[in-house]
Amino acid sequence: MFDDLKRLFLPRNQDGTESLLLLVTPHNLKMKTIKSVNSINIIPRVIFGAIANSLRDPKSLRQRLIGGAWALLKLQAANSVANIDINRVTGIEGVPVNLPVDSYDRAVLCALAKLVRPKAFFEIGTYVGMTTLAVAQSSPDATIYTLDLPGPDARNDAVLEMSDEYLFDRWDRGSAFKNSPESIRIKQLTGDSATFDFSPYAGKIDMAFIDASHSYSYVKSDTEAILRILSPTGTIVWHDYPSYPGVFAYLNELGASLGSKIYHINCTGIAFSSRMALVNP
Ligand SMILES: C[S@@+](CC[C@H](N)C(=O)[O-])C[C@H]1O[C@@H](n2cnc3c(N)ncnc32)[C@H](O)[C@@H]1O
């Protein structure tokens, strides 16, 4: 190897020593090997790895294969909700969001809100209030209305089909924003979304987020309520499409008759429809 190095002596230093400059020749560089790997090369590793992991944990293979295939099939079967990559949303690449990384969907919602610049935002389903707070922080001009049931027992009186029983194991609705500087712009509302009086907001809501009960009947009722209060340039965002059958079924039904197209953002649970042109054709 040292044959490839050229020795070059520089003028002597003041203390009489010599400096040495070593030049690496191109031949020396050629010794680096290039390993090209494509899908065919990883087939044995994938097959043996899958067999080994399935023997160790047979349930995981069933869950991943069947769950993954079912999720893909639903997206493929959607007849009136278009699946798009996030970069189809006009201008989204230039929108910074400053949020913890624990929820990509929340970051996507906040980025959409930054594009829409709502003056009034309505969320159905407050829960702890993490999304309420994140939207308030990223949309400083917005007043945020957020609606939830008045207490844990109210689920027993809900007029339509409830989902997600586990959400009632805790009851601290809105605690995430209660002591935040943004709380001044957040109006916490209580009631069953199926019987709540939305009429004071008619025509005033620029952006809405539907994320309460995920049954077909509640998503339909919540969407119809929001459509009555949406402004002429309003945007509706639904959460948990396509994972909840009720949300999937209702949005694919609605997509056929709604004036504006419904889009699902790939790799998220976010679906939206806007009266503004938010998506590149
Ligand atoms: C999935 S959580 C909401 C999560 C929240 N949007 C977020 O992003 O952090 C659903 C919430 O909807 C509320 N909810 C369920 N059914 C409701 C109803 N009929 N009316 C109002 N709120 C309801 C539940 O109490 C729960 O807090």
Distance 87 CA to ligand 1 centre (A): 29
Segment 239-250 shows an average pLDDT of 96
- Summarize the confidence of residues 172-193 as an average pLDDT: 98
To test ligand 1's pocket by mutation, which of 122, 135, 147, 211 has the most ligand atoms within 8 angstroms of CB? Answer: 211
Q: What is the pLDDT of residues 54-101, one digit of tens each?
A: 888 888 877 888 888 999 999 999 999 999 999 999 999 999 998 888
Return the higher-pLDDT residue of 101 and 26.
101
* Homologous superfamily, domain 81-274: Vaccinia Virus protein VP39 (3.40.50.150)
Q: Which amino acid is at 281?
A: P
Delimit the domains of the chain by residue range.
81-274
Give the chain's length.
281
Question: Residue 211 and residue 192: Cα distance in Å, rounded?
Answer: 13
Please state, as a whole number, how many other Cβ atoms lie within 10 Å of the Cβ of residue 155.
Answer: 15
Q: How far is the CA of 231 from the centre of ligand 1 (A)?
A: 23
Ligand 1 atom closest to residue 128's alpha carbon, by position in its atom list: 9
Residue type, 170: R
pLDDT exceeds cutoff 60 at 3? no
* pLDDT surpassing 70 at residue 27: no
Q: Is 211 in the pocket of ligand 1 (CB under 6 A)?
A: yes
CA dist., res. 242 & res. 186, Å (int) = 29
> For residue 101, what pLDDT is reported?
82
DSSP per-residue letters across 68-85: HHHHHHHHHH-SSEEEE-
For the Cβ of 154 lying below 6 angstroms from any atom of ligand 1, the answer is no
Q: What is the CA radius of gyration of the chain?
A: 28
Helix, strand, coil fractions of the chain, as percent rounded to 5? 40, 20, 40
Pocket test residue of 213, 216, 243 for ligand 1, highest count of atoms within 8 A of CB: 213
Distances from the Cα of 254 to the Cαs of 37, 127, 139, in angstroms? 46, 26, 28
Taking alpha carbons only, the member of 237, 278, 227 closest to residue 115 is 278
> Distance, CA 192 to ligand 1 centroid (Å)?
10
pTM: 0.86
Determine the atom of ligand 1 nearest the C-alpha atom of 123: 6
Contact 27, 4 (CB under 8 A): yes
DSSP letter assigned to residue 181 = G
By most ligand atoms within 8 Å of CB, the mutation choice from 99, 193, 198 for ligand 1 is 193
Q: pLDDT tens-digit profile of 269-280?
A: 999 999 999 998
Q: Within 10 Å of residue 120's Cβ, how many Cβ atoms? A: 19
State the pLDDT confidence band at 14, using cuts at 50, 70 and 90.
Answer: low
pLDDT in tens, 29-53: 556 789 999 999 999 999 999 889 8
pLDDT over threshold 70, residue 184: yes
Name the closest-CA residue to atom 19, ligand 1.
192
Task: Decide: 193 in ligand 1 pocket, CB within 6 A.
Answer: yes
Residue type, 60: S
Q: Where are the beta strands (DSSP E) in 131-261?
A: 143-148, 186-190, 205-210, 230-238
CB 126 near ligand 1, within 6 Å:
yes
206 lines ligand 1 (CB under 6 A): no
**CA 261 / ligand 1 centre spacing (Å):** 25
